[in-house]
Structure 1
């Protein structure tokens, strides 16, 4: 088998790429996805739109009939209840959603902070840990929860079921449910789902990222226009795949991803829990990833563009204006709290704000303050991490926002670390998982 179809489902778009055994990207198609924000704190996506986007992207790939396997990289968390036939019963509740603060508080009171951290590895952050969204549906759409055939998975579960007919979730996705033993790299844990009265029969089967989920269904192969009877590799969430693609696999390795979400990632040989960072399993058993996260990193930048730079075309803003501001930036006088979609490290709802603005403050000063707030919130965590782990002095900078001007801006915030601009690594990481998995089983 020479070629893999890697699928990366993000917040803004779905990308489908065909890669060869040397991880060269031979062809790529991208289809936009729609995030629907309402009431200020609801953020959803249509599950059927994700599948339709995959069909559209695959149909545009000229080399699709030559692939030998499919692998997924998916946004997370992305809670989605499915019926017994795999049809969505509610829109996907995204990581940007904050409607479930009441449920998060109840879960934290019921289980306790220490138990959550020592088993799940994370606190029940509203929307950021999908248990809270599941509880919100249980309280506000009980007819969904009461269904005997319901399965509460993530977007990955929908796609794996469409491809193979199985309700599955990988550990990196399960790590952000609040019901999985992330610290033990294990399975759904009764110490979590029991006190919360969550029926484990309503959860998908956890299957390792580097395993075969199944053989593609004939109908799915026909929809996508790809060969029949090829294997589907389970895959992982998008940040985990980015780490695989950037070779962030050893303890102390660091990665900084810039996209809709901005994340500083530390690879670990042993789980390290803290309310200051999120914890998930790596794609490889016996490895973990600590994550300091700004939920609306690139999302904050897009918010700024839409509200303060309406006369500037989107392409011009990102390709020209942003670079000019960073290269000739004004002194940093203002500051920004980067919580437009809340703080992914606390249960209480946090909001964003600018401070130290005056009558002569310019939008360029505000833009620099916004970027400084995003970067500082992540990189300040390095001082804590280095007290526990010997850190690599190189940080891989990846993602669609990892431009040369933004990399240079971030580098100025770092002492003792070199930021290495790598570019997009998610598709390559997913493909590497697939090639390694297939080599192992063959």
Structure 2
């Protein structure tokens, strides 16, 4: 018996087929091989085509089936993880009305700030646990204000994972977790926020039916099943944003447990059993995958837009013909501190942890006689870690005090330089696991379909790969403080 997991990333679609008995992946595939572009027609804007996601999902599933490592007819359920905060709009015929305004788009920042002021800061934070910011609700308000002809045709709005589930099943559903990440959810009343809907003048009928996150969100349509070689009627039984899903896949389920990831964006995600919030909404709180009215487990999320995207930019511009493992090897040749080279890695939209300011990415202190390729790539990795530390200190201000952080041995954590620097600069040990969002989504599907009795059972065979402890904290602390001064000076400059 197998489970299919789909991970709708910003860069590509990944799928995994997981054996229920071993809880391990038997086959994976990615499509496309090259990273998917982000459309940016104006500074700070970021869009992608939902139909491109759907095409890529189909190609990835056909590709994994072609491995011949399993019988696709033995797949019993489908789970979906997806890039958070995106807005997908469809009409009554389930046709897409416009490209998705995705997570790193900044166009709705001013609308969100005005909503925060009008609703009231304390009222927003106590009920929404966030400022409306540039999340999905504010993006929808932007469409309403600027594209009224499109808004008038909207039948339902969705997050990216809801859209792919719709294409698979023909049914449109959402969950409390999804609505909370769009900042549509009132945690005090456990219902859709009247404050947000009425402030923006949004129609309640645009919100899909709300189902438990671990439940059947529809069944695979006949034509799609035949096209993909799957069994008609199997359920889509799990949908979660990529960061709650990453936490699930690392078995981060209980209050006090913390996960991290460093893909296109960088995230630290800690589980709490309190309705906590940051007064400045620099870190955000959403409903975790295990949230219920009885157990209000939330995920406190620090997001940095420019992590893997910063490393990708450096690769494409300084070493386009080298692989990421080769870049990691080159970075290891440079000393701690990269001979004084400093980088601000914030070139991928407004950063929430910087109060929605956009500094742009910056390379500072380049010495043409001293610095070389190894210094550049180490400085990029160090600067990303410094951004993590800056955000983690905000989380610490709000009561999150991790004793250990779990991360998947993937993306930037594949680099020994990055992983050890992360531990040294944050001062927190890291546990590395074999981890993949698509595998987590597959196991989530097993929970939602009742194949596993609980999340704990689904991850009973979770195995630690490596444990990292701080080694160079003393050496890094003054380097980090110098970097922090540069950032803070940039934040106060006009």
Partner of 2:360: 351
Q: How does 1:269-348 map to 2 (within 5 A)?
A: 269-274=273-278, 275-285=281-291, 286-307=296-317, 309-310=318-319, 312-315=320-323, 318-329=324-335, 331-332=337-338, 333-341=340-348, 342-345=350-353, 346-348=355-357
1:26 partner SS: strand
Spell out, residue by residue over 1:325-372, the C-alpha distance to the aligned partner (whole angstroms, 9 max, x if none): 134336342333332122123244443333444554625444433332
Equivalent residues of 1:334, 1:355 under 8 A apart: yes
Q: Structure 1 regions of 5+ residues with no counterpart?
A: none
1:42 partner SS: coil
Shift of residue 97, structure 1, vs aligned partner? 1.3
Equivalent residues of 2:238, 2:444 under 8 A apart: no
* Equivalent in 153, 156, 160 of residue 155 of structure 1: 160
| CA distance in structure 1 between the partners assigned to 2:282 and 2:197 by the alignment | 24
| CA distance in structure 1 between the partners assigned to 2:157 and 2:382 by the alignment | 38
Q: Structure 2 regions of 5+ residues with no counterpart?
A: 454-494
* Equivalent in 92, 102, 119 of residue 100 of structure 2: 92
Spell out, residue by residue over 1:283-326, the C-alpha distance to the aligned partner (whole angstroms, 9 max, x if none): 1123111111111210011112223x14x4142xx111222213
2:303 partner SS: strand
2:40 partner SS: strand
Partner of 2:490: none
Equivalent residues of 2:412, 2:419 under 8 A apart: no
| CA distance in structure 1 between the partners assigned to 2:229 and 2:93 by the alignment | 22
| CA distance in structure 2 between the partners assigned to 1:214 and 1:20 by the alignment | 22
Partner of 1:28: 28
| CA distance in structure 1 between the partners assigned to 2:105 and 2:12 by the alignment | 18
Partner of 1:240: 244
Shift of residue 18, structure 1, vs aligned partner? 0.8
Shift of residue 256, structure 1, vs aligned partner? 1.2
Change (3 A) 1:382 1:35: closer
* Equivalent in 176, 183, 186 of residue 181 of structure 2: 176
2:382 partner SS: helix
| CA distance in structure 2 between the partners assigned to 1:410 and 1:123 by the alignment | 29
Question: Would you say 1:256 and 2:255 are equivalent positions?
Answer: no
Question: Would you say 1:136 and 2:142 are equivalent positions?
Answer: yes
Shift of residue 260, structure 1, vs aligned partner? 0.2
Query: Number of residues paired by the alignment?
Result: 432
Q: Which has the higher helix share?
A: 2
Shift of residue 80, structure 1, vs aligned partner? 1.0
Q: TM-score, normalised by structure 1?
A: 0.90
| CA distance in structure 1 between the partners assigned to 2:166 and 2:76 by the alignment | 19
| CA distance in structure 2 between the partners assigned to 1:393 and 1:187 by the alignment | 34
Partner of 1:217: 221
| CA distance in structure 1 between the partners assigned to 2:77 and 2:4 by the alignment | 6
Q: TM-score, normalised by structure 2?
A: 0.81
Change (3 A) 1:428 1:271: farther
| CA distance in structure 1 between the partners assigned to 2:358 and 2:145 by the alignment | 20
Alpha-carbon RMSD across the aligned residues, in angstroms, is 2.3
Partner of 1:425: 436
Spell out, residue by residue over 1:361-420, the C-alpha distance to the aligned partner (whole angstroms, 9 max, x if none): 6254444333323212223444454566574422112242221412122122132x2112
Question: Would you say 1:47 and 2:55 are equivalent positions?
Answer: no
Shift of residue 185, structure 1, vs aligned partner? 8.5
Spell out, residue by residue over 1:87-124, the C-alpha distance to the aligned partner (whole angstroms, 9 max, x if none): 21000111121222332333233223323322222223
| CA distance in structure 1 between the partners assigned to 2:238 and 2:341 by the alignment | 45
Shift of residue 176, structure 1, vs aligned partner? 2.2
Partner of 1:408: 420
Change (3 A) 1:385 1:46: closer
